Structure formats: C-alpha cells, structure tokens
Amino acid sequence: MQGRRDGGVALYVRECFHATEIVTGDNKVESLWVKIRGRADKADILVGVCYRPPNQDEETDEVFYKQLAQAARSPALVLMGDFNFPDICWEYSTAQKKQSRRFLECIEDSFLMQQVREPTRGAAPLDLLFASREGLVGDVKVGGCLGQSDHEMVDFSILGGAWRGNSKTATLDFWRVDFELFKRLVGGVPWHSVLASKGVQDGWLLFKKEVLREREQVVPLSCKMSQEEEDWRR
C-alpha cells in the first residue's frame, strides 16, 4: 500500500491456468481476488490473499468484510493471508479483543473453515488459510521461512472445486431431526466448567460452535437441484 514500507500481497498463477483478477474498486484493503477457471466439469475457484496490518482500524476491517461476504457466494473459495489476530484461539473459536471477535463472526457467517493448526510467527498463528468446504484444500504444512521473513511458510494444495452447472445443494431437513439425541449431546457437555472462565462474548461463541457441531449429527441433509451460483460481481 502506498506510503508503507511493509505489507502488500501478491499472487502468482501458472500460465497453464486461466485466471482473472476480480477488481473490487477499493484500495483501502490490501487484498487480491483471482478467479481460476475450473477444469472439465468443475466450477471456477475463487482465490483471495489478504494482508491486514496489526493497527488496522475497524472501518477498514468492515471494508474487507464486505468483500468477504461477496466472495463467500462462490461455490469454491480459498482465502489466505496474514491477518494479525494473535489473540484468537481457533480450537474453540474464541478471542480476547473486539476486532478479533468481529473477524471470527464474519468467518463463521461466511461458513469458512480455518486450516492452519500451528503457529506461523512466534507462538501465534498469524498466517491463516480458509476453505469454503471440506476437501477443497489439503496437505497443509507449516515450516521454513522465505528470505528474511520471520513468518513460517504455509504450504498446501488446492484439491479441486465444486461441480459446474446444475448441482445438488444440500439443505438442512428440520422435519427429520432427532431431538432426543440432540438433547443428550448438548446436555452431556459440562457447561459449568467449560464456560466458567469465559466472558459473555467468548462464552456465546463457544456455545454456538458446540451447538452447530451437535446439529451436524442430528439434522439430516436433503438435496435440491439449483442453478450454478452467480459469478462474483466486479
């Protein structure tokens, strides 16, 4: 970004892939979005890279979250970058600071899954990798530094995109919920000890994460045919 000595993002794509940059029209956020054409019967993959400075203000954060909400409409999304949220605990989806909690909220609203499990700078996982669905990325490895950087590299593979064209979209079928099993699973969590040291916001995020995890076990899915999602608007 102009006027700064550090930061910035770049994305290199092999010539054998057909890639198109998505122009957002906003230079407040250090982000780059590229749509890579899917092969054969696979849909396009949207790849985003972002650098968020440690002192970035809330207003600029919200500009990025608007970009993310638009990008999340893609059937296959991979997002990576240095987001500088060292206080986030990804195991329990909790955070100490307001801006960090807002980031977690937007990630959950976009149904993204964080793939980095190891620290990338010191003891903190500052460099993150998100995928919009299971099986989209794999072989995630952390280790080694590039040049004079004090960040560990994150190596991974993009394994494939979603199916192109008409596809079956899985939706939750609440008519066939096993409510008894749901009550047993939720009731089996030692909530008193789990929430004892949590504040209101962290406690709510932890409770929501656990309920959503139990929901996956008791709410069956039904598939409906839908048209391919619209391309992300420029």
User: pLDDT digit string (tens) for 150-176?
Assistant: 888 998 888 865 545 444 555 666 677
Q: What is the side-by-side order of every strand in the sheet holding 45-51? A: 19-22, 30-36, 45-51, 77-82, 127-131, 113-114
Tokens of residue 175, six digits: 């008519």
pLDDT-derived band at 228 (thresholds 50, 70, 90) equals very low
> pLDDT for 91-143, tens place per residue?
888 888 999 999 999 999 999 999 998 889 888 888 999 999 888 888 899 88
Range of the domain at 23: 19-158
- The residue out of 158, 178, 213 marking a domain boundary is 158
Please check whether residues 154 and 204 belong to one and the same domain.
no
How many domains is the chain built from? Answer: 2
Smallest CA-to-CA distance from 223 within 174, 173, 160, 177 is with 173
Same domain, 151 and 171: no
The half-sphere exposure of 224 on its side-chain side, counting CA atoms within 13 A, is 5
Instruction: Please check whether residues 172 and 144 belong to one and the same domain.
Output: no
- Tell whether 171 and 145 lie within a shared domain: no
